[in-house]
Amino acid sequence: MTIDHPSLPPVLRPADPPRRALTELAARFGKEVRGDTADVTLSGITLATADLRPGEAFVAIRGVNRHGADFAATAAEKGAVAVVTDEDGAEIAADAGLPIVVVDDPRGVLGALSAWVYGTGAGDPLPKLFATTGTNGKTSVSHLLEGILDQLGVVTGLSSTAERHIAGQVIVSRLTTPEASEMHALLALMRERQVEAVAVEVSAQALSRHRVDGILFDVAGFTNLSHDHLDDYADMEEYFEAKLPLFRPDRARRGVVNLDSASGAVVALRAEIPVVTIATPSIAADPDAAAQADWVVTIDEERQNGTVFTLAGPGGRSLTTLVPVIGPHMAANAGLAIVMLLEGGYAWERIAETLQRDGGIRAYLPGRTEFVSGESGPAIYVDFGHSPDAFEKTLAAVRRVTPGKVLMLFGADGDRDATKRFDMARTAVEGSDILVITDHHPRFEDPESIRATLREGALAVRPDGDIHEFSPPEEAIVAAVGMVGEGDAILWAGPGHQDYRDIRGVRTPYSARELARRALRDAGWPVPEPRWTVPYTD
């Protein structure tokens, strides 16, 4: 496996992209053409001049502060062959010297346009496509899908919050779901490299902002819905409605819906495609309703190295296996992945026999309750969770496999949904014995103010709690390790797989996993080798 790890991950394209005539693009998508399109061919499409390659079309979209057409001259200098934009953008880009195709809504047409450019639309030959949406668990399900597919001997691709994978190559992700132009280019590259199946994490924002337009998924999965992203949506109802389009026939052929959260039943009811349901009654909001799901996950055993569960469904089918991550919610994610594969056409017997042969699911979930400590000393789990629901589930899972104290270390995102901070602090202090508040991505907010809000929330719930505050995180993890010992555990929530902190718009190199190992090592505890070592380069 090769790993590319630059400071800003590259946008991926096929090595031999199709060549498309600009006149045909204009005929299919344009309402007006300015300039000469004759004899012009393009080999790709992009929204960003930083990623533009010679021979591509530049799509100029109006942003919050500027119109993308302001950068048309830069696009021309970098080898763009045309501009696709709206009428205002066409006026701005007029002096760039490039032919211009005018469309009503550049972002709205981007998915269809990208699918046409790269030949990745619904009728084109593509790998089998699996999409997962929901508040929590999207990344885990995506990596579990890929892990099981690997075990089945399938050449895989993946697009998640954490990473992009293409037939063994691993690249750190930029966005949970790439922009439509990048997404279609990625699918074209995967097809070129003989990828047979792809797991894609689909956020609500991706659906709202047209990032998966033009893609027809074979199977769509729904994990759950809980408080998050109210910086992007007016309320929880709007946030929920943003996810529903994935379960329409123009987006997916079939669906698998988890009923553990109350929203699951509504998704199953309102889906416009055939769906099957799955649930884990022991953690479901409505255990009785969950027990009536088509597929039921039962937790058999919780261990420090994973969770043993049984998946049972129609026709008396049943398998017992292990997911290599702690927590019933992770067993629920694994069950969802298995049923999605079944709905995607992979035989039940093949899946069951493979998991039995291998002694469980072999998947690496970067930064998802990732165990980074050694065989002795305090257990340290690094997790990407950044919502109250994720905190509650993961803390409970850590508690059940920890004989001693549980220390929670966390911070909150700056310039993101501030309405969830009190509930994050409440859940953190209620589920831990010791709470350590630190910084995460302050972005352009004052980190001291963020910490003060979290501390206030925690003290409101437990005024006599064992609550500490340290900044920066490098100091916080050292202090946290000094507060625990053999048999205790630290859950460091927030950073997960990420290798940077966003401080006033600058991506500062940073790895919670490495910082945790260093703190253990300095305290005299044994430390395992990391899964891989990749030098950071600017």
Spatial CA neighbour of 336 closest among 294, 384, 386, 390: 294
Provide the 10 A C-beta neighbour count for residue 183: 27
CA distance 59 to 466: 53
Question: What does DSSP say about strands 56-59 and 44-46: parallel, antiparallel, or unpaired?
Answer: parallel
Judge whether 360 and 144 are in contact, CB under 8 Å.
Answer: no
Spatial CA neighbour of 181 closest among 45, 51, 58: 45
pLDDT along the chain (538 residues), means of 10: 45 90 96 95 94 96 93 97 97 97 96 96 94 92 97 96 87 72 95 97 90 96 77 75 93 97 94 98 94 97 92 97 94 98 98 97 87 92 86 91 96 88 95 96 93 95 96 96 97 82 87 94 89 33
Cis peptide before 472 (omega within 30 of 0): yes
Q: Distance of alpha carbon 400 from its chain centroid, rounded?
A: 26
At what angle are helices 421-431 and 447-461 packed, to 10 degrees? 50
The single-letter code of the amino acid at 332 is: A
HSE-up of residue 74 (Cα within 13 Å, Cβ side) = 12
| Lookup: tokens for 237 | 């109802």
CA distance 355 to 327: 19
Q: What are the φ and ψ backbone dihedral angles of 33, each rounded to 5 degrees?
A: -125, 135
CA distance 307 to 332: 10
Judge whether 379 and 488 are in contact, CB under 8 Å.
Answer: yes
User: Which domains are assigned to the chain?
Assistant: 19-118 (3.40.1390.10), 128-358 (3.40.1190.10), 370-522 (3.90.190.20)
pLDDT given for residue 52 in this prediction: 94
3-class DSSP assignment, residue 328? helix
pLDDT given for residue 176 in this prediction: 53
pLDDT given for residue 231 in this prediction: 59
Q: Whose structure tokens read 């007029």?
A: 94
pLDDT given for residue 531 in this prediction: 54
| List of residues 6+ apart from 154 with CB closer than 8 A | 196, 197
3-class DSSP assignment, residue 315? helix
Report CA Rg, the chain. Answer: 24
pLDDT given for residue 70 in this prediction: 97
pLDDT given for residue 532 in this prediction: 41
pLDDT given for residue 233 in this prediction: 64
Q: Which residues pair with 91 in a beta bridge?
A: none
Q: Whose structure tokens read 């090595």?
A: 15
Spatial CA neighbour of 26 closest among 123, 113, 119: 113
pLDDT given for residue 232 in this prediction: 64
The single-letter code of the amino acid at 447 is: P
Burial of 529 (0-12, 13-18, 19+ CB in 10 A): exposed
Spatial CA neighbour of 5 closest among 458, 499, 507, 340: 499
Q: What are the φ and ψ backbone dihedral angles of 141, each rounded to 5 degrees?
A: -60, -40
Rounded to two decimals, the pTM is: 0.82
